[in-house]
């Protein structure tokens, strides 16, 4: 049976580990060939090697326009075209607004917002040539709500949603769709520096309030798989009517509220 991304070529940023790695593996499972772009060269090379001929590793710092140009050129040279760009790479800084250093704020905007902007600019012509291009941005639940401790991160991720909507209008003419996935769960590596010693960073992911009774029994890896499945759907021709939209993968935690004592609780 043909895979859901059979014949597609994708570039996934930040795919040396975590969510991006899960996305890259899922894409290859579904028949895609994938370029794995990251600043972590050795882990990226290992992920690519484990995927055989269907993958290649690229040194890609998403804040560098030169790296972006070289990454798109290398992907097209190796695999013949580019159908899908996944802007997944990002960094985190957790601090109260009043304690957030301006350079940390700027760094998050550079990686999490300017990175995808530069990627869209660099990839747009190749995606247009492919005919049915797709850009999928990995946002966050912090792009859908206000929460303490994430001033820089939320600003970058809300900005990314806005950028995606403009890109959806402008690139849609050339047949490219642009959507944003807003997960609750992510890699433990990203939040580990902020989790107290002795607490498993994966335990704090994707649990929220128990709106879905089975969610607490599921493995962290299964929740990352849910994120990858949403990215897969938006990257594939199964979602040709979807553009300019945000897709939460959060067990309902940003939209729902169970009021104890009220009917139906
Ligand atoms: N970890 C979470 O709790 C969480 C929750 C919701 C959404 N997300 C989002 O999921 C996405 C993936 O993050 P993750 O959770 O897998 O974290 P992660 O830290 O494991 O992965 C991020 C990857 O991006 C790479 N990266 C960082 N800066 C880069 C740069 N300048 N250029 C290229 N690559 C760079 C890192 O090397 C790493 O491989 C991010 O967009 C993140 O914001 C994470």
User: What is the pTM for the complete model shown?
Assistant: 0.97
| Ligand 1 contact, 204 CB (< 6 A) | no
Write out the H or E segment, with its range, that includes residue 49: helix 41-50
Decide: 172 and 180 in contact? Cβ < 8 Å. no
16 lines ligand 1 (CB under 6 A): yes
Write down all domains in the chain, each with its CATH number in brackets.
9-249 (3.40.50.720)
User: Distance between CA atoms of 27 and 48, rounded to whole angstroms?
Assistant: 12
Nearest to 177 by CA among 228, 216, 140, 131: 131
pLDDT tens profile 40-55: 999 999 999 999 999 9
Single out the catalytic residue among 68, 79, 117, 153.
Answer: 153
40 lines ligand 1 (CB under 6 A): yes
In short, whether 201's Cβ falls inside 6 Å of ligand 1 is no
Strands in 9-13's sheet, in edge-to-edge order, are: 55-59, 33-38, 9-13, 84-87, 134-138, 177-183, 246-249
232-249 b/e with 16+ CB inside 10 Å = b?
bbbbbeebeeebbbbbbb
Tens of pLDDT, residues 5-46: 999 999 999 999 999 999 999 999 999 999 999 999 999 999
What tokens does 214 get? 């089975």
Catalytic site residue 194?
no
Question: How many A from CA of 260 to the centre of ligand 1?
Answer: 35
Name residues of the chain where pLDDT drops below 70.
205-209
């Amino acid at each position: 049976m043909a895979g859901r991304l059979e014949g597609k070529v994708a570039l996934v940023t930040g795919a040396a580990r975590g969510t991006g790695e899960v996305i890259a593996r899922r894409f290859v499972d579904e028949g895609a060939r994938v370029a794995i772009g990251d600043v972590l060269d050795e882990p990226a090379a290992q992920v690519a090697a484990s995927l055989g001929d269907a993958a290649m590793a690229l040194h890609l710092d998403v804040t560098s326009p030169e790296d972006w140009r070289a990454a798109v050129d290398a992907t097209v040279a190796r695999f013949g075209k580019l159908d899908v760009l996944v802007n997944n790479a990002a960094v985190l800084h957790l601090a109260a607004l009043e304690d957030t250093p301006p350079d940390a704020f700027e760094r998050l905007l550079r990686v999490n917002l300017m990175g995808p902007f530069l990627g869209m600019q660099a990839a747009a012509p190749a995606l247009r040539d492919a005919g049915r291009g797709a850009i999928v941005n990995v946002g966050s639940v912090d792009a859908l709500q206000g929460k303490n401790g994430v001033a820089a991160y939320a600003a970058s991720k809300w900005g990314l949603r806005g950028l995606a909507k403009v890109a959806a209008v402008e690139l849609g003419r050339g047949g490219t769709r642009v959507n944003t996935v807003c997960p609750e769960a992510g890699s433990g590596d990203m939040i580990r520096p902020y989790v107290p010693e002795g607490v498993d960073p994966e335990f704090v992911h994707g649990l929220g309030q128990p709106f879905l009774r089975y969610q607490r029994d599921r493995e962290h890896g299964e929740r990352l798989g849910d994120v990858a499945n949403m990215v897969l759907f938006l990257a594939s021709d199964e979602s040709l009517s979807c553009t300019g939209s945000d897709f939460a993968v959060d067990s309902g935690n940003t939209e729902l509220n169970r009021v104890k004592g009220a009917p139906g609780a």
